[in-house]
Amino acid sequence: MQLNMAAWSMIVTCLSQSKVLQSCVGIVTVASSEDKNFSYIPKGYSIPSDLDYLHFTSNNTIFGTQFKEFPKTSLPLVCDMSSDIFSKEINVADFDLIYAGAQKNLGPAGATLYIVKDEILGKSTSPFMPTYLDLKQQVEKESMLNTPPVFSVYVSMLNLRHTLANGGVKAIEERNNIKANLLYNEIDSNPLFRGPVAVEDRSNMNATFLLNDESLTETFDKMWKDAGIVGLPGHRSAGGYRASMYNALPVSSVEVLVEVMKEFARKNG
C-alpha cells in the first residue's frame, strides 16, 4: 500500500478542525441529538437531495441509543452496524453499503464485514483512499487483496454456522428482546436507578443507567463485582453504568445483574 503522506497529513488536519473539515470533504450533519447529550435519536429531519450518500450508525455504544427505524431516502444509504449487526432482522436491500467490525456480534476483532450492492462499486473517487479500502478491488480479488485475518474469519464462520443451526437471526432477536426488557424493566421500576435515554430509542445492545444517589456508588459497585459481573462502568465520556448485552451474552447473565439491583434496593431503598 502506498499513501502520499502530505495528503494524509491534510486529512488529519481536516478531521481535527470541524470548519476546515466541512470545506475539505464536504460533510453535512443532517441531524444530531448533541443538544441533549445524545440521549435520543433525531426524528422529523429533512435529508437534502443533493448529497452523494447518507451515512449513519445504527447503534450508539457510548450513550445507549439505537435506531428502531432506519432513514428513508433515495440517496445511497450507508450504515455502520458494528455494534448491532445480526442482533435483529433487517431488510438488507434497503442499504447500499453496510459495514461492521467483527468484534461485537460476529467474531474476534481483526475482520470487517461489508455488504455492498454491485452497482456502487467503483464509484469512490477519493484520491486519499488506500487500495485495501477500495471495495471494487476487494471484490475482484475475492477478499484476498491482502493477507486476511484467518483466525477472526474462521471463528466468525463458526459463529454464523452456530447461529443458523439455532434459529437464525430471528431467534437471536427474540433473545435480545428478552434481555433488554428484563434490564430496562428493572431500571424503570427500581427507585435507586434511572435511564438517561429516551425510552423509544433505548439500545438492546448497550443499556445505560445512572444511580439517583451517587453517594451509593461504592456500595453498588461492590455488590455487582462480588456477583462476578465485569465491565459494568459506563464509557468514560458518559459516566454511570453500561450493560453491554451482545448476542453471546446469555439471559442468565442479565438475570444476575437484575437480582443485584433488586437486592441493592432492598438494602438501601
pLDDT digits (tens, 9 = 90+) for 232-253: 999 988 999 999 999 999 999 9
What are the structural domains, with CATH classification, of the chain? 5-165 (3.40.640.10), 168-268 (3.90.1150.10)
Helices (H), the chain: 5-16, 18-25, 135-140, 150-165, 168-189, 217-226, 251-268
Task: Give the model confidence (pLDDT) of 151-196 as tens digits.
Answer: 999 999 999 999 999 999 999 999 999 999 999 999 999 999 999 9
User: CB–CB of 190/67 below 8 Å?
Assistant: no
Measured torsion, CA atoms of residues 85, 87, 89, 91, in degrees rounded to the nearest 10:
-20
pLDDT at 131: 84
pTM for the predicted model, two decimal places: 0.86
